[in-house]
A and B are shown apart, each in its own frame.
Chain A
């Protein structure tokens, strides 16, 4: 399943960052998810809840999802428009020569950690 693969990659990234920052535990992970990234948030959360239980530091980590709206740029008229309701045909000029400017991101924005006993506080 696609969502599970994504979750494993996110966990790898977060584990690395957590170790670098001497985290005892990760409380939450904020993920920026493009509207047309192809990832289904509900499934992602399901996979997340299952997969983090297999880790040490991330057992209790909550997944926070922030959606990035999809925006398409039109080469025909140089304007942008929201991708999801319109699709690939520009609503301003009817051109088919359009491309996605944003909205397919799958990006870890930030994590909240609890620092370990030898932390730098």
Chain B
């Protein structure tokens, strides 16, 4: 019989990724670039919100975008039309971006002349929450049609996020969606979570969010 040697590892699958993410953040700090990781379910409004955000901040900040749509260039094309530098990350059907893929994207985009880079993550609420991308802040979009009990069903993403955008408030009258309940459930998971109700369609509430983001970027890059 062959002899095997057992080696104890005792390390989380995410440990390597976490270390790499910390390296990315340190690098970004050094070059004064802010990375925002934007997450949501498919169709919650990441691209639409991003376009609004670019519109509001374009005059103050130099912005770049990385799109991680699973297999189309549609989002990147929309962003390119908005006039900011953008690249499409191809995730090969993967359900999330990890720090390694993010770093590759940052290199491809070229970040030294940018103040703000936004990463539109793959549309789902489970996997992206587990992998630190190296972002300075994490944002999540929850749209009204998804229902107010999402913080109960997907607690992890609410704990890793710094800010929650509740999008599509223009359709509130048509849905059984309780804004106060979302606040309560989300703050139960993460008391420090910033919450901004917005409508990316009408623009309502967007400036509170973009003011917050501008302040965060200024803090990081000063």
The answer on A and B forming one complex is yes
A6 CB–B CB distance under 8 Å? yes
Q: How many residues of A contact B (CB 8 A)?
A: 32
Q: Which residue of A lies closest to B124 (CB)?
A: A2
Contacts of B10 in A (CB 8 A): 107-110
Q: Which residue of B lies closest to A22 (CB)?
A: B5
A106 CB–B CB distance under 8 Å? yes
Query: Is the CB–CB distance between A2 and B127 below 8 Å?
Result: yes
Q: Which residues between 14 and 66 of chain A lie within 8 Å of chain B, taking CB atoms?
A: 14, 17, 21, 27-28, 38
Query: Is the CB–CB distance between B7 and A111 below 8 Å?
Result: yes
Report the minimum CB–CB distance from B132 to chain A (whole Å).
13
Docked complex Cα distance between A106 and B16 (Å) = 13
B78 CB–A CB distance under 8 Å? no
Contacts of B155 in A (CB 8 A): 100
Contacts of A5 in B (CB 8 A): 94-96, 98, 127
Docked complex Cα distance between A27 and B156 (Å) = 34
Query: Is the CB–CB distance between A96 and B188 below 8 Å?
Result: yes
Query: Is the CB–CB distance between A107 and B7 below 8 Å?
Result: no
Contacts of A10 in B (CB 8 A): 13
Contacts of A88 in B (CB 8 A): 152
Query: Is the CB–CB distance between A13 and B95 below 8 Å?
Result: no
A93 CB–B CB distance under 8 Å? no
Docked complex Cα distance between A13 and B7 (Å) = 13
Pick from A12, A100, A110, A121: contact of B7, CB under 8 Å:
A110
Docked complex Cα distance between A102 and B16 (Å) = 20
Query: Is the CB–CB distance between B16 and A9 below 8 Å?
Result: yes
Contacts of A114 in B (CB 8 A): 2-5
A13 in contact with B16 given A110-B6, A112-B4, A114-B4 (CB within 8 Å): yes
A–B complex contacts, Cβ < 8 Å, 28 sampled = A1-B95, A2-B95, A5-B98, A6-B13, A9-B13, A13-B9, A13-B15, A17-B9, A21-B5, A21-B7, A106-B12, A108-B9, A108-B11, A110-B7, A111-B7, A111-B9, A112-B4, A112-B5, A113-B4, A113-B5, A113-B7, A114-B2, A114-B3, A114-B4, A114-B5, A115-B5, A121-B3, A121-B5
